[in-house]
Amino acid sequence: MKYVLSPLAFTLGVSAAALKRPDCCFQLTASGGASGTVGQLNDGQNRVGGGYGAAKYCINSAGGITDANHRGCILTPPTKQFQCDQGVSPTTGFSVGGGGEVTYNGSTQFYACPAADGEYNIYTKPVDGQSKCVEITLSTQGKCASGGGQAPSASTPVPVSTSVPVASSPPPAGTPPSPSAPAGSGAPSSSSTVTSTLTQSTTECPTTRNSPQSSAVQSAPPIASPPPAQSTPQPSQPAGTPSQPAGTTPSPSACPTDLAGAYQYPHLIIPVNSSAPSTAYGTQYNGTVSRGVCSLFNFDIPAAWAGATCSAVFLLPAKRELQTSDYALSAAGGSIAFDRLSAPASASTAWDSVPASGGRLGAWRLAPGTRFVVESGACEAGATVAYEACGEGGLELEWFQDWNPSPIGLFVRKC
């Protein structure tokens, strides 16, 4: 099932009501055949019993749950175990009722199955072959009552696309299915697709802000040489598509432009708009760039990556390679430009409060099948690094950031 991007209608003058509301956070308590506070193992498995400290969770308006480590909480196939994993989008369809009861797709019924003596993993269905699974319910103890969203079915949960759509491009090819990625709240554009549109006016963009960003509204600099072999397009890519200004070619030590090794998914994606410089849109699950519209990306680099090489890589697969995502691209001779930011973004960051640029990294022309290394160097272990992507010239791009085959968007790769 592919995610659906809204028809591109760029006027970024939406009200705050169309944007993602803040996540609501809580702890969980289990009752029934197994009872007690829900805690976590270090790997993100959620457990009842075992004396673990109370884990903290947050639910967004699409019904997706994340934990205190920003891991997406999912139902693992095929057993449907409820656990939280790094670098994945949370399963949607959860909600919190008026009394604090947690539901999934409208049901309050969960199952606890033994994992160790006195410890239980949590599932949405009994595990085949385990006779000691017991029925439980989960409660937030009244926190976040009536929060979150509910999907129509387990196979087609409906998130909300709240990123900034891009103007005048046709909707993604194919029959629009229901999306299944978490995102913020928005207004439905049809009975099958829930979207909100952040639209950009056609007035001239401001030329200054706290972060030096005049390049985001100017034409692209001359584009010269392609990256070295490690980051050149695969055979299916248009020859010479990813290219950069002279002097910004990644070093030969750059990581491969894939996610075959350890990688980090962005923990914040923040759109900012020059036509609404004081408006903070909050974190989204889509990236979007155009003239005067940029997206900011935060990555938390694990401490265990000390001494390794890290590369920020941007991937834009051909649409035939996508299984669960989609994008809309109108290049019109433009390019996507990246800056390294001097400090991380936050959910309250707006155009006029973007952290100062720590350096221009380059600009690349885009076409389906493009992939390239944005930056490479020693991993900044234990730190949060941030990037800004902007559209230059006539480029307009909106994509659903996704790690599923084929990965799409900006990632930090370790090698």
Q: What would the pLDDT profile of 390-414 be if each residue is shown by its tens digit?
A: 999 999 999 999 988 899 999 999 9
Strand partners, 272: 294
Q: Where a domain ends, among 139, 174, 204? A: 139
Which domain range does residue 188 map to? 160-414
More confident residue, 153 or 136: 136
> Which of 24, 23, 19, 75 has its CA nearest to residue 46?
75
Determine the residue type at 76: T
More confident residue, 133 or 231: 133
Using CA atoms, how far apart are residues 71 and 67, in angstroms rounded to an integer? 6
Q: Is the same domain home to 118 and 176?
A: no
Identity of the highest mean pLDDT range in 43-57, 194-208, 248-262: 43-57
Total domains in the chain come to: 2
Q: Is the same domain home to 207 and 335?
A: yes
What's the token pair of residue 278? 């004081």
Output the average pLDDT for the chain: 76
Q: What is the pLDDT of residue 34?
A: 93
Q: Is the same domain home to 117 and 204?
A: no
Is residue 150 assigned to a domain? no
Percent of the chain with pLDDT over 90: 54
Using CA atoms, how far apart are residues 197 and 190, in angstroms rounded to an integer? 13
Q: Is the same domain home to 120 and 222?
A: no
- CB-side neighbour CA atoms (13 Å) of 63: 26
This prediction has a pTM of 0.49
Using CA atoms, how far apart are residues 28 and 360, in angstroms rounded to an integer? 44
Determine the residue type at 382: G
3-state secondary structure of 352: helix
Q: Is the same domain home to 115 and 192?
A: no
Q: Is the same domain home to 203 and 352?
A: yes
Q: What is the pLDDT of residue 173?
A: 36
DSSP letters spanning 270-313? EEEETTSTT------SEEEEBTTEEEEEEEE--GGGTTSEEEEE
Q: Give me the residue label for tokens 């005067």.
A: 292
Strands 370-378 and 309-316, bridge-based pairing: antiparallel
Q: Where a domain ends, among 105, 139, 173? A: 139
- CB-side neighbour CA atoms (13 Å) of 156: 10
